[in-house]
A and B are shown apart, each in its own frame.
Chain A
Amino acid sequence: MPAALTNFATHFFVLGDPLIYGADASIIIVSIAILFVLTYYKKWGWLWREWLTTVDHKKIGIMYLIAALLMFFRGGVDAILMRTQLVWPGMHFLQSEHYNQIFTTHGTIMILFMAMPFIFAMFNIAVPLQIGARDVAFPYLNAISFWMFFFGAMLLNISFVIGGSPDAGWVSYPPLAGPEYSLGPGENFYLLALQISGIGSMGTGINFFVTILKMRAPGMTMMRVPLFTWSALAASILIILAFPALTAALALLLFDRLAGAHFFTMLAGGNPMMYVNLFWVWGHPEVYIVVLPAFGVFSEVVATFSRKRTFGYASMVASMMAIVVLSYLVWVHHFFTMGAGPGVNSFFALASMIIGIPTGVKVFNWLFTMYRGRIRMTAPMLWTVGFIPNFAIGGATGVMLAVAPADYQYHNSYFLIAHFHQVLIGGVVYGMIAGMYYWWPKMFGHMLDERWARHAFWWFNIGFYVCFVPQYLLGFMGMTRRIYVYPANMGWNTLNLVSTVGAYMMGLGFIFLVVDVVYSVFRGQRDKTGDPWDGRTLEWSLPSPAPHYNFARIPVVTSRDAWWIMKEARRKDTTDVSTTPGVDSVSVTKSKQNAPQTLAQAGKLKPIHMPKDSGRPFILSLCFFLFGWGLVFEWYWLAIIGLLGVLTTLVLRSFETDTSYHIPVEEIEKTEAAYGRA
């Protein structure tokens, strides 16, 4: 018995690596600390009532944000570990096995558990407020989405200390990821974690698609929808159409691994190239799923902080939609070197380059939104301006990679690594950080500190170039990706050293960002007006943080930049409208008439219909976690228990009729009065 027990323990826990013991220790310490704080301050009830059971999109958004920042930290630590190993040719810091696990989890976490929740955070925080809605279309589903994501992320993260991390790369190509070459549970963790969180993403895609199409305030035609909301719509369409391909790929690979099927092994007639195709049919749209919302944030930020209308709104929308369509036609550029004929490669090369055109158009539109504006270099604007050169370079190297014959040389080299980090960091991360600074007062009622923001930005931004520009050159020097050691005589040493220094600078930048958050919670300037940036869209017409029901009265929208026009009408109340150059006088006069109702000052209040909180999304997702865990270790009894739990919660929900309530008028009046908006 003890022998069996030790045998079990050595396979279950990852043993023998001091780094992992360190992780074990810190996980235990942090868990105990959290349990202690919750118990000591008697916060369990509060945690359950206010957060774990909430269906309020604003709170769900905040939870996504916290999760995204934590995962950014985890992925960032992975990145620092890798760069430390690569600082010098013969480093003995990480073993090959460990390095492989780290780049696999780094890539997976950054794309699926950092970028995805970050954009979902922004969707949840901003979209309903921007379109004058009281909630998303399916609030209960929204909570399920979050908890599915959360437990999926937990499943992947736990693999580091229990069972072992996946190590076949974030793309997880068979046969390497198949049962023959990836023994142990690591790869199962990957497959199930992505599958479970994928269900959540699908739910979010559907939710926001419906929300944006169906829940806009009266008068908000599609061509008056703020650009961030447009970008959320575009991303939702991409999610709905792309995620099924990933689901299929992961499920089939799971069958290969657990049930001995041969979908992706040539033996018995399967084909690994099929997996590669399915993966990238999802994978390429995925990069647009995460970058389009960043474009949306930049569009809002540029207009607000240039105090100017967005330039070329119609072509912004058109280019976004063009990207949605085109992004399904380019997936083969991820494997030009897999033997497709010249006709196929040419087609996908051309389609890939063509995406550069609408993307380039967006950059020019941002530039000309600033042109003849009045630019305030606040933190969100700093990240936006920092993004533009990044994206110009990243886009250019993207076009270079799309040139199929040239890609035969760049493929799988550090040139590629530099390129996608330039667009994923310079686009997605910069965009999400800009969005975080921008909407922070709306979420929490206080501003983030600008001084710390500057430290964070400059360290991160300069570190970024120091880290990744050398990698372009390393690519030209023939350095391949995913190697943990490299020969000393290739001339790669100095550039790798510089690159690592840059990674540390970025790490410091991230620390300053955290310092900013902590500092501002205590010392940050409070936002009393609800409109600290002099914003243009409807979320800024609300107090900060917005009340539970968002809008006491649903606003009536008469133009694009609805809130700005209302404010202009008030500012210009006494002056003649026609003296302002370029003003669309029709919209101004109209908005003047409508201004009183839309400013939540007129009209009778009515009781507000709201969804009830529910603990079931949490429990449902927990059961999914058990199900996934059971499959990872092939403990089928546990998987069945988990599955039964899932079914039970679903059935119970279907019998539930009492799922909503009304907020009485007196309570709304009281709340509004407390905000000084009687």
Chain B
Amino acid sequence: MNKLVRTKWRELALLVLVPFLTSGCGERYLIMNAAGPVAQIEQRLIYTTIVLVTIVVVPVIILLAVIVSRYRDTPHNKAPYNPEWSESKILEIVWWGIPIVIIGIIGTFTVRDTFRLTKPPTAETPLTIQVTSLNWKWLFQYPGEKIATVNYVEIPTNRPVEFVLTSDAPMNSFWVPQLGGQEYTMPGMAMRLWLQADKPGVYYGHGANFSGQGYAHMSFNVIATSSTGFHQWAQKVKSTAPPLTAVGYKNLTTKQDIVGKQEFSSFPPGMFEADIRINGGMYMKHKLTEATD
């Protein structure tokens, strides 16, 4: 029996490890491949907690294996049998104490980073991008550049980007794993998410909160380029792309469909704010001003 268990465990370990090893280098593990300061904070925190919880998990599993094999009810088992032994102050203090210490450490880091992430990650002047999740696409508006894109977004590197998020459809969640964690988009509300890319590249983004039939297709790329690259790109969009008219916008929001990338040289001013307002933002004035001031 024991031997059987052992071989089964070995098989299991192999099964678990093989795909891990063959799925290529660690680059695939997006949240462990932070490409900016926000994701880096989160990544460090993730590593720290993994190490700390492992300190508890591994001994527990070893202890279990040892105890189960040692105290089996076999005829010749010589291990002590002590059926009434059921209290030990010292032991109980140990296992109330160790988790308390570990949770204390994790908790401290958690609180520190929770506060840290509400502020811009670096001191550069931030860029603001307004994000609206639609049925089933992502609309990005650049209030500074006065351009807009659908299903992809371009950002400059080494500069904090303030994403202001809302939805003109069911709730969704804006997530670019390599740049940092997600935040919900909700109709009638504006939420703020700070992200920053330190390296140029194309980063995978996806809506993370289920929003209906076309939800699986709601992916977008975040393209990070140098500051000059970004301005050239914005200039190009400005001069080559068609404008987004009020009618065009209406089309985007009401048609439930899946579209490819699009870009627009302009959009009706105040569209984002108006959208929040008509979706119920009029009942939540403080939120609206807070996010857009």
Contacts and interface: CB of A to CB of B under 8 A. Distances in A.
A482 interface: yes
A367 B110 contact: no
Given A371-B67, A377-B72, A409-B181, A97 B46 contact: no
B183 A408 contact: yes
A392 B280 contact: no
A630 interface: no
Contact of A368 (B46, B91, B106, B113): B91
Contact of B16 (A169, A315, A469, A476): A469
A290 interface: no
Given A370-B68, A405-B181, A346 B115 contact: yes
A360 B96 CA distance: 8
Interface in A323-345: 335, 337-339, 341-342, 345
A309 interface: yes
B49 A403 contact: yes
B183 A339 contact: yes
Given A356-B103, A408-B42, A392 B170 contact: no
A491 B12 contact: no
Contact of A310 (B86, B183, B207, B210): B86
Given A392-B61, A400-B49, A483-B216, A353 B85 contact: no
Interface string A390-408: 0011001101101111111
Given A342-B114, A473-B29, A403 B216 contact: no
Contacts of B219: 487
A406 B47 CA distance: 10
Contact of B46 (A175, A353, A400, A580): A400
Interface in B27-84: 28-32, 39, 41-42, 45-46, 49-50, 53-54, 56-57, 60-61, 63-64, 67-68, 71-73, 77, 79-84
Size class of the contact patch on chain B: 35 or more
Contacts of A458: 8
B85 A495 contact: no
B96 A361 contact: yes
Interface residues of A, number: 104
A608 interface: no
Contacts of A475: 31
B54 A396 contact: yes
B215 to A, nearest CB: 7
B99 A470 contact: no
A615 interface: no
A483 B99 contact: no
B28 A477 contact: yes
Contact of B30 (A307, A400, A405, A477): A477
A406 B23 contact: no
A648 interface: no
A404 B181 CA distance: 10
B200 interface: no
A181 interface: yes
A269 B279 CA distance: 10
- Taking each of A272, A310, A385, which has the highest tally of chain B beta carbons within 10 Å of its own beta carbon? A272
A321 to B, nearest CB: 14
A601 interface: no
Nearest to B191: A339
A313 interface: yes
Interface in A157-199: 168-169, 173, 175-176, 181
Contacts of B91: 364, 368
B12 A181 contact: no
Contacts of A487: 219
Contacts of B32: 476
Contacts of B180: 408-409
Interface of B: 1, 8, 11-12, 15-16, 19-20, 22-24, 28-32, 39, 41-42, 45-46, 49-50, 53-54, 56-57, 60-61, 63-64, 67-68, 71-73, 77, 79-88, 91-92, 95-96, 99-100, 103, 106-107, 109-111, 113-118, 169-171, 173, 175, 177, 180-184, 186-189, 191, 204, 206-217, 219, 279-281, 283-284
Given A309-B85, A412-B208, A478-B206, 6 more contacts: A349-B111, A367-B63, A392-B57, A396-B53, A409-B180, A476-B29
What 7 pairs across the A-B complex have the smallest Cβ distances?
A266-B280, A408-B181, A266-B188, A582-B84, A176-B170, A396-B53, A491-B28
